[in-house]
Structure 1
């Protein structure tokens, strides 16, 4: 996963049934005096779906009665989002800052901190060590990107964010980080603030943060909040007609499986394969303890001294 999305970006669509009179903007409907309650279905429990749920719970008016049903046939973080490589940074494959990259990076860091707090609190309750907490959440190793052509030598430095710095390293400096790594142009770029997260664990923690928001809303003067997860598939949006005020679709490439939407969006899907590699304890040396993940034409997401995603 990255802000440039190593996997296909998840599509988020709000669907309103024609038979129901709903204002075009969900913000207006939330604030409307004639609608004291809101019932939403969110399809997909990946990066987009859980982010939508969290923001609905966090930003809805306190006195609003809000019911959210989350649907995913393979569970929380069980689809493409859950097996994403986990490399998080704000740059495109062409080494340019993404559109709204600064804001998206800051928002991503905020959600990571929220998920980390949930992970820490849950681990502490069962007596886990701080070392295991970091393993549960992710690996703050940074990301190393070898320069593959001359253009990269200037582009990376021209577009970097102060909050996600890019350091230029020579061959000797790279060898100190990853012994034996060969550089085509003798130069690499290191993003020390970039993340390699365990995608599924992050998503599970973010769902826990959503559950916490529901519990916190039970205070006096707040509207009723309800969040329910349903582990099942949805074959047609008409299944929900008359039940919800809005259906928010966050199921990525599977959106074309819904007959109400299939063929109506100019989508281009892509396919990827992720390989999990583990080195046996009795063979060779492991990856350096603080060695960065590597991003190039292919990528290596380091999960541990003897565990990699490629």
Structure 2
């Protein structure tokens, strides 16, 4: 039995969809089970014989976290510590989702799993602390670091860009932050493969392949969005201008370079991950694409 925590979010929704399609039995929880209350987690766990716990719950509002540090810590560190403790108590293997933001972004080669952490904002610091809590409190765990996640369920950069292009003559997008867009469908698929193959416990980097900037990503969204029929006439003529991080200040500082090396996960599972452009095409051309999100 699999327990999906944070089942109502973008990744959690996709994980549940793929579990359904695979015929794998699972239970799910969202806001109905408060992860910051270990009693609530224990009560839920006691009702099921759980072999796997997939934690998709997180505080992910990167900028808001700077002014809501206590709440961010409560969810991303304290809540994760509780989940890890419950996983250890019921003998379940834990799959926990982390982020590229645990690195400071000052490098220029893809980060490997054994590189030292140096988060630069509240969100990244709480996610790094969450990783430490997993390692401290349970033995059977997979920490999956991902980046620039988008999916069919919920708000994300792809939907936002298409909506902006279809309503504006021009827009500015940051062009000096490099990373890798990751389709939630690909990450969910990796999670199911990890459960099936039962690879060695530890930390793995799980994004799509390739690297790009937010501006280049936006340009590819416009190009593919036109072909998929989601970009209207105004959107086709929308000028997407590159800008620097300094020109687009945000409350939270972001890593300038946060590309993750995927060699470890690819070798462990014996597969090649898709290029991010290929996965964007899958996302845009699926019947699961939510038109209402671009209106």
Between 1 and 2, higher relative CO (CA 8 Å, sep ≥ 6) is seen in 1
Structure of higher CA gyration radius: 1
* Structure having the larger proportion of residues in strand: 1
Q: Same fold (TM over 0.5)?
A: no
Query: TM-score if structure 2 supplies the norm length?
Result: 0.26
* Structure having the larger proportion of residues in helix: 2
Query: TM-score if structure 1 supplies the norm length?
Result: 0.25
